[in-house]
Amino acid sequence: MTYSYTQISQYLRCPRSYRYRYLDGWREKDTRAAMVFGRCFETALAAYFSKQDCTATLFKEWGAYREAPLDYGKGDSWNKTLHQGIHLLHKFAQDDRVQVRRPQKNLQLKATRALPDGNEFVAYIDAIGHLDGQPCLIDWKTTSSRYQQEPEGLLALDPQLVCYSWISGVREVALVVFVRKHLPEIQYLKTSITDEQCNEFSQLVESTISQIEAGKFLPHSGIRFPMNGCTSCSHLGLCLGNQQFVDSKLIRRPGASDLDWLDQLAD
């Protein structure tokens, strides 16, 4: 069985949601504009590092969704998102703080790690390159709000960065956050992951997989007034028995679970 960060984090968030998605085949419909745009933007970044016209690449990739019925956030539109993306690409080139040599090899790297009982863990790392001249592993994020930086040291707790550091052996890591807002901004955030964090992540992966293989899928509804994690869960309709919610959010692909690790490319 092949596991990914997305699978482990989904199980830890709510085991019932994991079961719906990976065992029963209920997948979220690919209609979130922000997620689709993030994939187009990463393709444009790959063009930038390959010395191609990244603006034209973004226009071509995002242009394929111009008439698509995507769900946009409040005040967002296809046009506005495109202009924010172009602005961010220009700013990224002007800043010139990130270098990725040999982009064919160092972008979207596949990393694998053997796990006990014949299982395997697979991750796709956005880039291995240099930030401000320092070698590091890099993860791109496109978002509509800034990544929280306070209190100091918060970034080192990011579980996805810990995962990538664990699987790659690279301890210097960075998030490059492309913030789509009125005045687009790019955050360049660096941190170091310790060996101890990686050892603990390894134990977390093994204990999570043992729970999955033991068939433990109790719901963790996460309700704590006034926050309710279920309201942002795509499987809410299944838990509520609300067919209208199910039809609007989900599509069922039974038997597709062996390719589910691919979905981490959408993170």
Closest CA to 61 of 49, 69, 53, 71: 53
Please identify, among the stretches 75-83, 103-111, 112-120, 233-241, the one whose residues bind ligand SF4 according to the rule CB under 6 A. Answer: 233-241
Shortest Å distance, C-beta 5 to ligand SF4? 18
CB 21 within 8 A of CB 239: no
Q: Contact between 27 and ligand SF4 (CB under 6 A)?
A: no
Q: Contact between 159 and ligand SF4 (CB under 6 A)?
A: no
Two tokens, residue 112: 């694998």
Which residue in the set 239, 253, 263, 265 belongs to the binding site for ligand SF4 (CB under 6 A)? Answer: 239
Whether residue 159 has a cis bond before it, omega within 30° of 0: no
Which residue in the set 4, 7, 17, 84 belongs to the binding site for ligand SF4 (CB under 6 A)? Answer: 17
Q: Which residue is nearest to ligand SF4 (CB)?
A: 233
How many Cβ atoms from other residues are within 10 Å of residue 221's Cβ?
Answer: 15
Q: Contact between 14 and ligand SF4 (CB under 6 A)?
A: yes
Q: Contact between 229 and ligand SF4 (CB under 6 A)?
A: yes
Non-local CB neighbours of 71 within 8 Å, separated by 6+ positions: 31, 32, 33
Which residue in the set 12, 115, 156, 230 belongs to the binding site for ligand SF4 (CB under 6 A)? Answer: 230
Rounded Cα gap, residues 256 and 261, in angstroms? 10
Q: Contact between 221 and ligand SF4 (CB under 6 A)?
A: yes
Whether residue 151 has a cis bond before it, omega within 30° of 0: yes
Applying CB under 6 A, the site for ligand SF4 has a residue count of 12
Rounded Cα gap, residues 128 and 170, in angstroms? 9
Q: Contact between 212 and ligand SF4 (CB under 6 A)?
A: no
Shortest Å distance, C-beta 13 to ligand SF4? 7
- Name the phi and psi angles at 217, rounded to 5: -130, 45
List Cα–Cα distances, 169 to 29, 51, 176, 203, in angstroms. 34, 29, 20, 16
Shortest Å distance, C-beta 35 to ligand SF4? 18
Q: Contact between 233 and ligand SF4 (CB under 6 A)?
A: yes
Rounded Cα gap, residues 81 and 44, in angstroms? 14
Which residue in the set 174, 189, 236, 246 belongs to the binding site for ligand SF4 (CB under 6 A)? Answer: 236
Which residue in the set 35, 99, 219, 265 belongs to the binding site for ligand SF4 (CB under 6 A)? Answer: 219
Q: Contact between 9 and ligand SF4 (CB under 6 A)?
A: no
Closest CA to 125 of 192, 173, 190: 173
Please identify, among the stretches 165-173, 180-188, 234-242, 251-259, the one whose residues bind ligand SF4 according to the rule CB under 6 A. Answer: 234-242
Q: Contact between 16 and ligand SF4 (CB under 6 A)?
A: yes
Q: Which residues contact ligand SF4 (rule: CB under 6 A)?
A: 14, 16-17, 219, 221-222, 229-230, 233, 235-236, 239
